[in-house]
Amino acid sequence: MSFFEDIRVGDVFEVGHHTFTADNIKAFAARFDPQLFHVDETSAERSHFGALCASGWHTAVVWMRLMIDCRRHMDEEALARGESVAGIGPALGFRELKWLKPVYVGDTIEYKSEVVELRPSKSRPKVGLMSFRTVGVNQNGEPVISFVSTTFVERRAP
Amino acid sequence: MPKLHWEDFQPGTVAIYGPRLVTREEIVAFAAEFDPQPMHLDEAAASATMLGGLGASGWHTCCLLMRMIADGFVLDSSSMGAPGFDEVRWLKPLRPGTNIRIRVTVLECRPSSSRPEMGLVKFRYEVLDEAESCLTVMTSTSMFGRRQPETRA
């Protein structure tokens, strides 16, 4: 991760993509969100969704995993260039989480996260607060998930 | 026929679900799969972070809440899902060995303007530890089927 001072509003993380299968939709939902339209094809067909679709939390945590992998890759590249990397986290939470369209079996979701706000922490001089808007878009170009999350990012030593 | 429909939710109603013990093993397993950061995976590495020790991924807390409200009332309702969450604040770390409970407060109920068979319920969800300290607070609006789509005043 870049240090707080080196991040700009408008910076974009190309987080990556994930294809949702029936097996992983049902396995996740069985653990955390066993509503019938997330665990059973027949019931899902009869529901207002019309077909099996992923738990919204599943769509969200897939982003988290991809984001971690994306940051790790960026850190490895920076370290290889001889640069130092900033610590990040923990996150404070998120807002405006919207599940805009269902994620169906076979959908591939591409996630991007754009920095929307940067501010110093009043109480913690070693870190700043970074907010970014994440959007996940399906293979038809339709946004399926959007949210704004906020996390601590390390500042350069003064 | 589910037990709870939109008509059964009333603003101001409070319900508590749990307790549910959250183990170190499940915190680490969730993090390894979805949020592999040292503060969620390893005690020694976690104590060097702002979390000050091993704590669950905030996303794990959200997923645990989902499961607890599913078992608590959603699965026995006419739930049609939720369009999103207005706000989620991870206030304090969820530590291994905590027995969490969920306090659900109904904030608002309104009919859907576009779909007569559906109504909307806004909830506040609080994830509490044994000392009633709030670890995570979330607000969200969910969609529920109506028992009587046409006749409610």
- B2: pLDDT confidence band, cut at 50, 70 and 90? confident
User: Is A106 strand, coil or helix?
Assistant: coil
- The ranges assigned to domains in chain B are 6-145
Average pLDDT over residues B59-85: 96
Cβ-Cβ contacts under 8 Å, B62 against chain A: 57, 60
Which has the closest alpha carbon to B122: B141, B146, B104, B145?
B141
B89 CB neighbour count, 10 Å cutoff: 16
Task: Say how far apart CA A61 and CA A28 lie, in whole Å.
Answer: 10
Kindly indicate whether the ipTM for this predicted assembly is greater than 0.85, answering yes or no: yes
Question: What is the spatial distance between Cα A109 and Cα A152, in angstroms, rounded to a whole number?
Answer: 26
Q: A34: which chain B residues are within 8 Å (Cβ-Cβ)? A: 67, 70, 75
Out of 3.10.129.10, 3.10.310.10, 3.40.50.1820, 3.40.50.300, select the CATH number for domain A4-154: 3.10.129.10
pLDDT of residue B151: 52
Where do the structural domains in chain A lie, given as residue ranges?
Answer: 4-154
Q: How far is B152 from chain A (nearest CA, A)?
A: 22
Q: Which helix (H) or strand (E) holds A114?
A: strand A108-120
Give pTM, 2 decimals.
0.95
pLDDT band at B153 (very low <50, low <70, confident <90, very high): very low
Of A61, A90, A147, nearest to B63 by CB-CB distance is A61
- Residue B55 Cα to chain centre, angstroms: 17
Interface touch A68/B63, C-beta < 8 Å: no
Nearest residue, CB atoms, B62 vs list A57, A89, A96: A57
pLDDT at res. B149: 76
Q: Is CATH 3.30.870.10 the classification given to domain B6-145?
A: no
The owner of tokens 């959603």 is B74
pLDDT digits (tens, 9 = 90+) for A52-89: 999 999 999 999 999 999 999 999 999 999 999 999 99
3-class state of residue A95 by DSSP = strand
Give the model's pLDDT for residue B150. Answer: 53
User: Would you call B59 and A95 a contact, using CB atoms and an 8 Å cutoff?
Assistant: no
